Amino acid sequence: MTTSTLPALPALRSRFKTLLWVGLGSTALFVFITSEVLLMTDYPMYHAYRLQVIADRLLLIPHTLAGIFALLIGPINFSSRIRQQHLQLHRVLGRIYVISVFIGAATGVALATGRPGFPGTSMQAAAWIVCTTAALITARNHQIAQHRQWMARSYAVTFTFVSSRVLNLWPRYWSHLGDTFAAVGVIAFTLASLLIVDIGLNWRELTTRRSD
Ligand code: HEM
């Protein structure tokens, strides 16, 4: 391909963004079916966990609602078009996202209290709150480039709900959840998600050498 036939950088970036959201959306749909729908329909492998979820329902209802808000608002607020054309909507949804993260994190920690997953969940919640608070502060300070970076990190933590459940149907993976693996696994997913986002944010600096 000659230089003139190469797609321009903004077009490439927009194609990458579309592909990324289609990939994340398909993964979320896969997890919704293989984890949440099967949990609701009492899939035998999930039976014991289903009983725990039912017992935890008072905390799980606000937790799940907050998590769903955070999960759905992310893609809307990352859209440059919506942000440019409806800034007020972006701000309102952004506030709902921040409140959702705080409720989701607090209820998540409360749900994990007294269980093996507590240390991992606490670290995950701390990362969620720190990244989201930094995104809020940078937005208020009109540091828009940094605001987008912190939002990308915050959403990476939001998305660990999906990524950590992709392998749920694999019996060996599922049978290890609930013990030490669950505690360490949550930390590993959070760390990996944050590192992947930061590699993405620094991709140009990592792949091109400065000429001076
Ligand atoms: C997109 C964000 C999130 C959504 C939609 C969400 C939703 C849910 C749902 C539906 C459950 C019960 C069913 C299942 O485990 O699959 C659950 C469980 C749980 N979530 Fe979340 N969650 C999110 C993020 C988080 C985060 C970031 C944390 C950590 C701070 C967390 C902590 C927990 C814990 C500890 C449980 C186990 C509850 C129990 O044992 O009964 N969640 N979540």
CA 150-156-159 angle, 5° bins: 145
Please state, rounded to an integer, the average pLDDT across all residues of the chain.
93
Residue 41 lies in a domain: no
Q: What is the pLDDT of residue 1?
A: 44
Q: Which of 7, 4, 32, 18 is nearest to 169 (CA)?
A: 32
Which atom of ligand 1 is the closest one to the Cα of 55?
41
What does the H/E/C string look like for 35-69?
A: HHHHHHCCCHHHHHHHHHHHHCHHHHHHHHHHHHH
Ligand 1 atom 39 nearest Cα: 53
Q: Which helix (H) or strand (E) holds 208?
A: none
| Higher-pLDDT residue of 181, 85 | 85
> Which atom of ligand 1 is least distant from the CA of 64?
7
Query: Range of 156's domain?
Result: 58-201
Q: Is the pLDDT at 167 greater than 90, yes or no?
A: yes
Nearest CA to ligand 1 atom 5: 67
Q: What is the model's pLDDT at position 107? A: 98
State the pTM of this model.
0.92
- Residue 139 domain-assigned (yes or no): yes
Does residue 38 sit within a domain? no
- Contact between 164 and 176 (Cβ < 8 Å): no
* DSSP per residue, 177-207: TTSHHHHHHHHHHHHHHHHHHHHHHTHHHHH
Query: Residue 76 falls within a domain, yes or no?
Result: yes
Given ligand 1 and candidates 50, 60, 97, which is best to mutate, with the most ligand atoms within 8 Å of its CB? 60
- % of residues, the chain, pLDDT over 90: 82
Q: Compute the distance from residue 93 Cα to the ligand 1 centre, in Å.
A: 21
Atom 8 (ligand 1): residue with closest C-alpha? Answer: 64
Atom of ligand 1 nearest to the CA of 109: 30
Handedness of CA 182, 56, 39, 32 (dihedral sign): negative
3-state secondary structure of 21: helix
The total number of structural domains that make up the chain: 1
- Ligand 1 binding pocket (C-beta < 6 A) is 35-36, 39, 52-53, 56, 60, 63-64, 67-68, 70-71, 104-105, 108, 111-112, 117, 121, 124-125, 128, 157-158, 161
Q: Whats the size of the chain, residue-wise?
A: 212
Q: Whole-angstrom Cα distance, residue 168 to residue 177?
A: 9
Quote the longest CA-to-CA distance of the chain: 63
Question: For the segment 94-149, what is each residue's pLDDT rounded down to a tens digit?
Answer: 999 999 999 999 999 999 999 988 999 999 999 999 999 999 999 999 999 999 99
Q: How far apart are CA 185 and CA 127, in angstroms?
A: 15
Confidence of residue 18 (pLDDT cuts 50, 70, 90): very high
Does 144 fall in a domain? yes
* 168 within 8 A of 33, measured Cβ to Cβ: no
Q: Whose CA is nearest to atom 3 of ligand 1?
A: 67
Contact 113, 125 (CB under 8 A): no
The verdict on residue 51 lying in a domain is: no
On whether residue 50 sits in a domain, the answer given is no
Q: Answer whether residue 34 is part of any domain.
A: no
Q: What is the mean pLDDT of residues 73-78?
A: 96
